[in-house]
Amino acid sequence: MRHAAFEPASSLLSRLAARGGASSMQRFCGDIAFPIDPLFRGEKVAIGQLAQLAGCDVVALERVSVRHLGKGHFRLRDEFASLQSFQRLRVRVCPKCVRAETPSAVEILVDQKLPGARLHAGEPPAREI
């Protein structure tokens, strides 16, 4: 599978799972006994295994993926971060942005998660779901 220049390991794995017809990335990893948690932690061995599975260059994949440096420190490209940088307490989305990318997703989001949400100028910049 072709690896896009700025595509991190987690995105490549997601595409690989979809290409394989799996209902989810987690199911795909379970079916082929692929170590998903080490990949999301940025462990070098897991990134190498994914590169081999996808048939892409491991160095290119490592360069654009989160890499664990030890003791709660990570690197993404030329930036460094601590474990706290990756923690999210809430998921926030901008309905207008979602609509621009996938119109059908907004319809579902509005109908099921955001009843009464406005999807026009003047709407709040983000809504919790």
SS3 84: helix
Torsion sign over Cα 110, 114, 116, 118? negative
The tokens for 110 are: 């509005």
pLDDT in tens, 32-85: 999 898 998 888 899 999 999 999 999 999 888 888 888 888 887 888 888 777
Angle between helices 44-54 and 9-19 (to 10 degrees): 40
Q: What does the alpha-carbon distance between residue 116 and residue 124 come to, in Å, rounded to a whole number? A: 12
Average pLDDT, the chain: 78
The tokens for 17 are: 């799972």
On the CB side of 80, how many CA atoms lie within 13 Å of its CA? 5
Q: pLDDT grade, residue 121 (50/70/90)?
A: very low
For the entire predicted model, the pTM comes to: 0.60
Does residue 91 have a pLDDT over 80?
A: no
Can you give the pLDDT at residue 82?
Answer: 82
Neighbours of 107 (CB within 10 A): 12
Q: What is the mean pLDDT of residues 103-122?
A: 51
